Amino acid sequence: MNLYFPPFIYSFFLFLGTLISISSSSLFGMWMGLEINLMSFIPMIINLENNKKSSEAAIKYFLVQAMASAIVIFSALYFYIFNGYSFSNTPNIMITLALCMKLGMAPFHFWFPEVLEGLSWVNSLLLLTWQKISPLVILSVFFYAKVLIILALISAMVGAVSGFNQTSMRKILAFSSISHLGWMSSLMFLNSSLWMIYFYIYCFTSFILCLSFWMLNLNFFSQLTLIHNVNEKFIIFINMLSLGGLPPLLGFFPKWIAILTLSNNFPILLILISSSLITLYFYTRLCFSTFTLYLQSMIWMSKNKSLKNFFILSIFTFLSLFGIVPLSMMNI
């Protein structure tokens, strides 16, 4: 007998697990919140999509997250037993590596694009944004600086380079997320709380893009050449360039903050800016190719686009266009 629980039950425990993690005063409570969050997200993947790709994604996600959670609880035990000894850096290193694996940072990133490929756009948005909150908050408390900055720089470069020649929208968002995690971790390395501002704006930009892809029913870049409406293409690419950090769009605002914060660490800043330029290069290349290539003979695309959807996406894109406004308000 199969019992089906409504999606709001899973959503409740998903949010509850994150709130437990970020509000707990002990490592055990943080671990428990991570487990509640994990166990509520997996049924959302399987029950709401019910196909082979989603089942495969759920298994991969479970195995990686369970392995990382086991290392987290083992690190908590290590803290308790060996706290105060000369080799007490070991649990910090272990928990840093485990949380980076949970986030999908390089070189533990191989599961992330594959899992994202098997999800719907709603679940993809959750994995790109909400599921990162707990590991990032715990990482900001327990990170080991040398390990974190190495993984951050590797993530920035791997996320930028791996985005080349990708045709799936989900994989492009996955590698973009890996690259952005490098920027956030670099801010975290300096004990700066500005990584939270970076994360908020990244979440907002990802929300706009996932909403756009969902409303326009886009999964691959080849489908963009079949869109007749130039305004819809414009909405997609404004938001993609914002995600890449092109000034003066909204996505450039957190990177400007990061550049000002990291100005005294030139080698780190050089690697991060180089990775961002690589990302912008292939975003603009895709932009030009999609606007110039148009297949008139392929007219099998559905035409049931509502004006309501277009109006909603236009409002969000308007917010992305004026990304320079919050910067002037903060007087940075």
pLDDT for 1 beyond 90: no
Which position has the higher pLDDT, 275 or 235?
275
Tell me if 1 is assigned to some domain: no
Tell me if 110 is assigned to some domain: yes
Q: What's the average model confidence in pLDDT over 97-108?
A: 93
Tell me if 180 is assigned to some domain: yes
SS (H, E, C) 73-130: HHHHHHHHHHCCCCCCHHHHHHHHHHHHHHHCCCCCCCHHHHHHHCCCHHHHHHHHCH
**Can you tell me the distance from the alpha carbon of 226 to that of 75, in angstroms, rounded to the nearest whole number?**
51
Tell me if 208 is assigned to some domain: yes
Tell me if 237 is assigned to some domain: yes
Tokens of 218: 């886009």
The CB density around residue 273, as the number of other CB atoms within 10 Å, is 16
Burial 3-24 (b: 16+ CB within 10 A, else e): eeeeeeebeebbeebbebbeeb
Rounded to two decimals, the pTM is 0.88
Tokens of 236: 């997609």
Most confident range (mean pLDDT) of 101-105, 228-232, 239-243, 261-265 is 101-105
Q: Which amino acid is at 12?
A: F
pLDDT at 49: 57
If one counts the domains in the chain, the total is 1
CA 248 to chain centre: 21
Residues 6+ apart with CB under 8 A from 13: 36, 37, 39, 40
* CA 246-221-120 angle, 5° bins: 95
**Can you tell me the distance from the alpha carbon of 48 to that of 92, in angstroms, rounded to the nearest whole number?**
37
Tell me if 217 is assigned to some domain: yes
| Structural domain range at position 22 | 7-330
pLDDT at 81: 80
Tell me if 2 is assigned to some domain: no
pLDDT for 167 beyond 90: no
